[in-house]
């Protein structure tokens, strides 16, 4: 059976799964079910993944306080409340094909944090989650919590998906967690897996950051303009493979990425100032006099598995344009 998937974002964190036929395992007659229940404040589910067995992974965040709990179980007869310390908190939930809660995991910074993207590897054994946080971030299962350097920092977490259907705690917690940030606003907006389970994460940063994500010797980079883009590759064990940055004298924001067997495609927007989009020694100018059209233009770039730029293109109309999703 082919299942069509869509997600809704409103004053409460919900995701609605739309099936090709209402004659299904879902509990409602119209073939849809809410997988994130109402909280007292707001939230969203910006990313959803489905494995080959039909299990669903909802990656989102919700806003609450210690006096307001959040029910992650869609079953009206069962309440599984989550209470957190921060303003917004990242929550990752796994559901069976019939919509039953299997487990949930909270990544809770004591100030604020949000999931921006998640990806599932081909075997369905690992889930990578990226986003932004402020304050001290709790990575369950990791050796220590990590504090943001200044404003919002980018984060990346790798989670094991295996679980018992009777357990509502992700059994291995977070296998590892990484953060990137300086005194400006930094975010991990896109994540994906390569063919050997390597993890790619992309986003944008402002000011000076250690582009090695605190791994090994520091490699501090300063954004050329207001914000620059970054792309990083990790092995499945969390070891850094390479990290790239690029941008011009204005805004260059990477919003999402997609990976095929050997290449990585990234997309976002750039301001209409000519920018060098080759992180290496070469120069590939796009935007500005090289084809910029409006206040913001979309860009798409292709990298190989070694992090070498293959090409970069920009396009747009007379106003604002941006790439917000890649597949």
Question: Could you tell me if 269 and 322 are in contact, meaning their C-beta atoms sit under 8 angstroms apart?
Answer: yes
Q: Is 256 exposed, middle or buried (0-12, 13-18, 19+ CB in 10 A)?
A: buried
pLDDT at residue 180, rounded to an integer: 92
Q: Which helix (H) or strand (E) holds 256?
A: strand 252-259
Residue ranges per structural domain of the chain: 47-58+97-246
pLDDT at residue 271, rounded to an integer: 80
pLDDT at residue 168, rounded to an integer: 56
pLDDT at residue 42, rounded to an integer: 64
Tokens 């944008």, residue located = 204
**Eight-class DSSP state of 274:** -
Q: Which helix (H) or strand (E) holds 112?
A: strand 112-120
Residue 310 in 3-state DSSP?
Answer: strand
pTM, rounded to two decimals: 0.86
Question: Could you tell me if 205 and 230 are in contact, meaning their C-beta atoms sit under 8 angstroms apart?
Answer: yes
Question: Could you tell me if 94 and 104 are in contact, meaning their C-beta atoms sit under 8 angstroms apart?
Answer: yes
Tokens 């036929």, residue located = 21
- Contacts of range 194-197, beta carbons closer than 8 Å, 24 or more positions apart: 194/233, 194/259, 194/261, 194/262, 194/264, 194/305, 195/122, 195/261, 195/262, 196/236, 197/121, 197/123, 197/126, 197/236
pLDDT at residue 232, rounded to an integer: 98
Residue 189 CA to residue 59 CA, distance in Å, equals: 13
**Eight-class DSSP state of 241:** E
Measured between its terminal Cα atoms, the distance across the chain in Å is: 22
178 strand-pairing partners: 156
At 275-326, the pLDDT tens digits run 889 999 999 988 764 445 556 889 999 999 999 999 999 887 667 778 889 9
Q: Is 208 exposed, middle or buried (0-12, 13-18, 19+ CB in 10 A)?
A: middle
pLDDT at residue 308, rounded to an integer: 97
What residues in the chain have per-residue pLDDT under 50?
A: 1-14, 16-33, 35, 37, 39, 165-166, 289-291
Q: Which residues contact 10 (CB under 8 A, 6 or more apart)?
A: none
**Eight-class DSSP state of 159:** E
Residue 62 CA to residue 98 CA, distance in Å, equals: 23
Residue 181 CA to residue 133 CA, distance in Å, equals: 10
Q: Which among 215, 265, 276 has a CA at the least distance from the CA of 243?
A: 215
| Tokens, residue 245 | 């940055």
pLDDT at residue 12, rounded to an integer: 44
pLDDT at residue 277, rounded to an integer: 93
pLDDT at residue 241, rounded to an integer: 97
Residue 105 CA to residue 89 CA, distance in Å, equals: 11
């Amino acid at each position: 059976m082919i299942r069509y998937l869509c997600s809704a974002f409103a004053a409460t964190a919900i995701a609605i799964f739309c099936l090709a036929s209402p004659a299904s395992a879902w509990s409602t007659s119209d073939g849809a079910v809410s997988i994130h229940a109402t909280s007292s404040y707001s939230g969203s589910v910006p990313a959803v993944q489905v494995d080959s067995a039909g299990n669903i992974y909802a990656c989102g965040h919700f806003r609450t306080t210690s006096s307001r709990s959040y029910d992650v179980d869609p079953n009206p007869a069962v309440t599984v409340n989550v209470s957190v310390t921060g303003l917004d908190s990242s929550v990752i939930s796994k559901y069976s094909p019939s919509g039953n809660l299997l487990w949930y995991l909270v990544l809770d910074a004591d100030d604020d944090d949000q999931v921006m993207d998640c990806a599932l590897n081909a075997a369905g054994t690992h889930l990578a989650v990226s986003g932004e946080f402020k304050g001290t971030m709790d990575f369950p299962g990791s050796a220590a919590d990590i504090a943001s350097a200044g404003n919002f920092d980018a984060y990346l977490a790798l989670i094991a998906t295996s679980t018992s259907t009777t357990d509502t705690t992700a059994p291995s917690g977070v296998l590892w967690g990484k953060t990137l940030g300086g005194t400006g606003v930094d975010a991990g907006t896109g994540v994906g897996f390569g063919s050997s389970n390597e993890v790619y994460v992309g986003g944008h940063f402002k000011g000076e950051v250690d582009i090695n994500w605190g791994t090994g010797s520091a490699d501090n980079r300063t954004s050329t303009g207001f914000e620059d883009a970054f792309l990083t590759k990790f092995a499945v064990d969390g070891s850094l493979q390479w990290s790239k940055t690029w941008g011009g004298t204005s805004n260059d924001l990477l919003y999402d990425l997609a990976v095929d067997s050997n290449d990585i495609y990234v997309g976002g927007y750039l301001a209409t100032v000519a920018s060098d989009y080759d992180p290496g020694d070469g120069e590939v100018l796009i935007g500005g006099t090289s084809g910029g059209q409006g206040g913001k233009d979309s860009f798409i770039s292709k990298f190989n598995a070694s992090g070498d730029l293959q090409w970069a293109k920009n396009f747009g109309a007379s106003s604002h344009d941006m790439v917000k999703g890649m597949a």
